[in-house]
Amino acid sequence: MTSSDPDVALMLRVRHGDNDAFRELIERHQRAVINTIHRAIGDAWEAEDLAQRVFVQVHRSAKRYKATAKFTTWLFTITRNTILNEYRRRSRHPSESLDALQEPSDPEGAGWQAADTSARDPAQEAVERELQEKVMEAVRELPEAQRTAIILCRYEGLSYEEIGKVLGCTVSATKSLLHRARLTLKEKLRGYY
Amino acid sequence: MVFNQMKGKDMSCQAFTEQFDERLDGRLVESSQAAFDAHLASCADCRREWDAYAAVWQVLASDKGIEPSFGFAERTLRRLNDPQIAVHRWVWWPAWRWAALAATVMALGVGGWIGHERMTERRRAEAYARIQHADYLEDFDVIANLDQLKGDKQL
């Protein structure tokens, strides 16, 4: 990786305390991070809160960041660890969600939006919403490693190698995870395709 | 599933289904892609399997995701000094660092144990030497067969 990679160039600026560069970095990746978390835990507000935590961790680790791997691989590794920490926290305190722990840090931040809900046939929209919910549910029910592999492959377009780095496994193990996840989804979504 | 013979290219149904993922992810090389397409055209069972497999991938695309709420980046910047967000540095350690740490701990443990054993052995030898030169023991015939005792590690 070289500084010709825009993310690496931004991280080098962040390392020197450039908050404008950090804002740009957030804006480039916020959607990917929020949606990765949202697909894993299913709650939009919590997804935003955890995504903010991910970016804060990125900022605090900027000095230790080495441009030896692709920035997104590093970012998704932090994202995955944040999700895993959230699972652990939930298993220790099953009745608590982040909503119960603290109020939104900024009242103006209320209200996330589903992507692209421009004027369409309401019936069609309802069918699509149902399908989307079914898909999200099926993905969420996958074992953690399979789910992460599917999300990173299908929605974020990461290569097998990059997914393997995020999950800490080999390329062949990644392929195997994806295959098993697809077979499970094929069963769970029967009737929707 | 049957074994299909196709115009100079053989591909079993099993070999065909094993390539589903790579075909779906656009990772088949050109020659494999041609064999895949040829098998797809000739085997109705496999075509049904493939259609279902590929359809699931399309269905997943129906999840368009959510858009970040307005001002997400600004709010994140305001949380940079939030003490509630702990930094779990250990979480980001790559596997090789954990392995190095484990190896170091093991090396220290083994080294400590070896050092302790050597020290004990040296003390034994020193004690033996002292006794060997203690003339009064011989004078009074306290120990008759000192060498034999050393061999039995009684000292």
Q: Which residue has the tokens 């077979």?
A: A183
Q: Please tell me the predicted confidence (pLDDT) of residue B133.
A: 72
Q: Where are the domains of chain A?
A: 1-94, 121-193
Q: Residue A47: its chain B contacts at CB < 8 A?
A: 66
- Predicted local distance difference test score (pLDDT) of residue B110: 94
Do the Cβ atoms of A59 and B59 come within 8 Å? no
Interface test with A, best of B18, B19, B51, B56 (most A CBs within 10 A): B56
| Alpha-carbon span B67 to A112, nearest angstrom | 6
Q: What's the distance, CA B80 to chain centroid?
A: 33
Provide the pLDDT for residue B152: 55
Going by C-beta distance under 8 Å and a sequence separation of 6 or more, which residues neighbour residue B69? A48, A109, A110, A111, A112, A113
Q: What is the ipTM of this complex?
A: 0.78
Burial (CB < 10 A; 0-12, 13-18, 19+), residue B55, is middle
Which residue did the predictor score with more confidence, A68 or B102? Answer: B102
Q: Over its length of 193 residues, how does chain A's per-residue pLDDT go in tens digits?
A: 555 789 999 999 999 989 999 999 999 999 999 999 999 998 899 999 999 999 999 999 988 888 877 899 999 999 999 999 999 888 887 766 655 444 444 444 445 566 655 566 888 888 878 888 888 899 999 999 999 999 999 999 999 999 999 999 999 999 999 999 999 999 998 888 7
CB count within 10 Å of CB A150 equals: 24
* Residue B128 contacts A where some CB pair is shorter than 8 Å: no
The answer to whether A44 touches B66, Cβ cutoff 8 Å, is: yes
Residue A167 or residue B86, greater confidence: A167
Q: Identify the band that residue B96 occupies on the pLDDT scale cut at 50, 70 and 90.
A: confident
Name every chain B residue with its beta carbon within 8 A of the beta carbon of A27: 73
Asked if the C-beta of B2 comes within 8 angstroms of chain A's C-beta atoms, the answer is no
For residue B72, count other CB atoms closer than 10 A to its CB: 23
A35 touches chain B (CB under 8 A): yes
Residue A123 confidence (pLDDT): 83
Q: How far is B60 from chain A (nearest CA, A)?
A: 6
Model pLDDT, residue B2: 40
Q: What is the pTM of this model?
A: 0.69
Candidate from A52, A77, A175 with C-beta closest to B75: A52
Residue B136 pLDDT grade (very low, low, confident, very high; cuts 50, 70, 90): low
Q: According to CATH, what is the number of the domain A1-94?
A: 1.10.1740.10
pLDDT of amino acid B28: 87
A chain contacts of residue B20, beta-carbon cutoff 8 Å = 179, 182
Rounded CA separation A33/B64 (Å): 14
B68 neighbors A112 (Cβ within 8 angstroms): yes
Q: 3-state class of B56 per DSSP? A: helix
Class of A121-193 in CATH: mainly alpha
Mind telling me how many Å the CA of A49 is from chain B's nearest CA? Answer: 9
pLDDT category at B25 given cuts 50, 70, 90 is: confident
φ and ψ of A142, to 5 deg: -70, 155
Mean pLDDT of chain B: 80
What is the structure's pLDDT at B95?
73
Which amino acid appears at position A118 of this protein?
S
Taking 70 as the threshold, does the pLDDT of residue B143 lie above it?
Answer: no
The verdict on a CB contact (< 8 Å) between B78 and A106 is yes
Q: Chain A contact for B57, CB < 8 A?
A: yes
Q: What is the pLDDT of residue B123?
A: 92
Q: CA-to-CA distance for B79 and A110, rounded, in angstroms?
A: 16
**How far does chain A reach from its first CA to its final CA, in angstroms?**
41
| Weakest mean pLDDT among A67-76, A99-108, B45-54, B79-88 | A99-108
Q: Are B36 and B23 in contact (CB under 8 A)?
A: yes
Contact A182 B53 (CB under 8 A): yes
Which one-letter DSSP state was computed for residue A169?
S
CB-based contact A23 B73, cutoff 8 Å: yes
Rounded Cα gap, residues B63 and B65, in angstroms: 6
> Chain B residues with CB inside 8 Å of A20's CB?
none
Domain boundaries, chain B: 3-60, 93-151
